[in-house]
Structure 1
Amino acid sequence: MAVDIAASPDTVWPWLVQFGQEQAGFYSYEWAENLVGLGIHNADEIRPEWQDLEVGDTVRLGRADRFPDATLEVAEFDSEESLVLRTPDDPTWWVWSFVLDPIDETTTRLLVRSRIRLPENPVVRITSLTALDPVSSLMTYGMLQGIRDRAERLARTGRTETGGGHNRAG
């Protein structure tokens, strides 16, 4: 899945590196994430203290008290180009990749790819195809729109704040 953003990669990148439940959220449908108790609060600003992401760092997906194992690890990190997160399990069963592809000086395509290795259990596979995949696609769409809106606002105005409330995708 991808979205074109009217902003340069250096304007989009800071939004990606502050991902996480304990930081900026995921810029998607906050109400849906919290419906299942993830404790997500999407930021509308770039926070300097959240910009120091490195390979090996942990990105929390939900509240530690309810979802202690809901984490991803930074597997690859190429500033303003790509971010790859993966489950810390061995073997890895989920890889989530983000790539910034500059179209021109003022436009960036943000591509997101999620690869999940499912168990051989047919019930799990059918459930994933019928329920989890559509929900994941919807949440990814919301995330892309949320990142696009924030980055374009920053590129256009130099400001990250919305001036009140959250947008519908976060």
Structure 2
Amino acid sequence: MPSTRMLTRPLALAVAAGAAYGVSRWPAMTHWGATPDETEESLPGDEIVGEARYRTTHAVTIDAPVERVWPWLVQLGQGRGGMYSYDWLENLVGLHMHSADRIHPELQDLAVGDVVRLVPAGTDPPLRFVVARLEAPHVLVLGPSGSRADALAGNLPYPCWTFRLRPTSWGGTRLVVRFQSDFRPSPAGWLMNKYALTPVHFAMERKMLLGIKERAEQDA
């Protein structure tokens, strides 16, 4: 049986490599698809985290009206419509993610206070959001499920995830997504919740935006 030391060393090297790559590709991964104005503008949800230690703004243009895009956002979540990203990768770690390829009417009644999970119920830590703001069909803000103090005490991030849909002049949609979080500013906190997280977050969220784009355009 491999020793704990033998298993820990490759894991540490992998995290360090991910962090180094995240630093080297920082602008491309944190602002993918977004214009300078979109990156700098204030969005609903910014007030939840405040001075975020980690923040990304990603965007995509969709050839479908906002009314066609919105239903795909509303059914986001594990155990719901999935995340429209790399299901096979998420399922390798037991997330049981199944991204929908159609709109499910029974998942369209999302409301402020509802829970949107990233992992199955009962998983520790319970990675989940609570709907903090919902203005159909333009704004969806998923906020933290607990207090900042509790999150930081448990070495967890205190996050907010904003989805903003804006109609284009030609009848399409500009979807801007901002993820931001605060976390305990320890060396491990900076490494895990910012630098090593960046390439993983970028890859999964980019795929999610392209997945929403593909589904909404096919639906339209």
TM-score by length of 1: 0.86
> Which secondary structure does the structure 1 equivalent of 2:196 belong to?
helix
Aligned with residue 127 of structure 2, among 60, 65, 70:
70
Give the deviation of 1:64 after TM superposition. 1.4
Give the deviation of 1:34 after TM superposition. 1.3
- How far apart in 1 are the matches of 2:122 and 2:112? 25
Residue 144 and residue 70 in structure 1: after superposition, are their counterparts in 2 closer, same or farther (change >3 A)?
same
- How far apart in 1 are the matches of 2:115 and 2:215? 24
Aligned with residue 94 of structure 1, among 145, 159, 179:
159
Kindly tell me the number of residue pairs found equivalent between the two proteins: 155
Question: Is 1:147 aligned to residue 204 of structure 2?
Answer: no
- How far apart in 2 are the matches of 1:129 and 1:88? 20
| Equivalence for 2:76 | 19
Give the deviation of 1:37 after TM superposition. 1.5
- How far apart in 1 are the matches of 2:205 and 2:124? 20
Matches within 5 A, 1:2-151: 2-67=59-124, 69-91=126-148, 93-151=158-216
Give the deviation of 1:128 after TM superposition. 3.2
Aligned AA for 1:127?
M
Residue 67 and residue 34 in structure 1: after superposition, are their counterparts in 2 closer, same or farther (change >3 A)?
farther
Deviation by residue 1:78-106 (Cα, 9 ceiling, x = unmatched): 00101000111112710000000111252
Larger Rg: 2
For structure 2, the 5+ residue unaligned runs are 1-57, 152-157
Aligned AA for 1:60?
R
Alpha-carbon RMSD across the aligned residues, in angstroms, is 1.4
For structure 1, the 5+ residue unaligned runs are 156-170
> Which secondary structure does the structure 1 equivalent of 2:174 belong to?
strand
Contact map agreement 1:30 1:42 (CA 8 A) in 2: yes
Residue 46 and residue 67 in structure 1: after superposition, are their counterparts in 2 closer, same or farther (change >3 A)?
farther
Give the deviation of 1:130 after TM superposition. 3.2
Contact map agreement 1:8 1:105 (CA 8 A) in 2: no
- How far apart in 2 are the matches of 1:123 and 1:68? 17
- How far apart in 2 are the matches of 1:52 and 1:68? 26
Contact map agreement 1:25 1:40 (CA 8 A) in 2: yes
Aligned AA for 1:39?
H
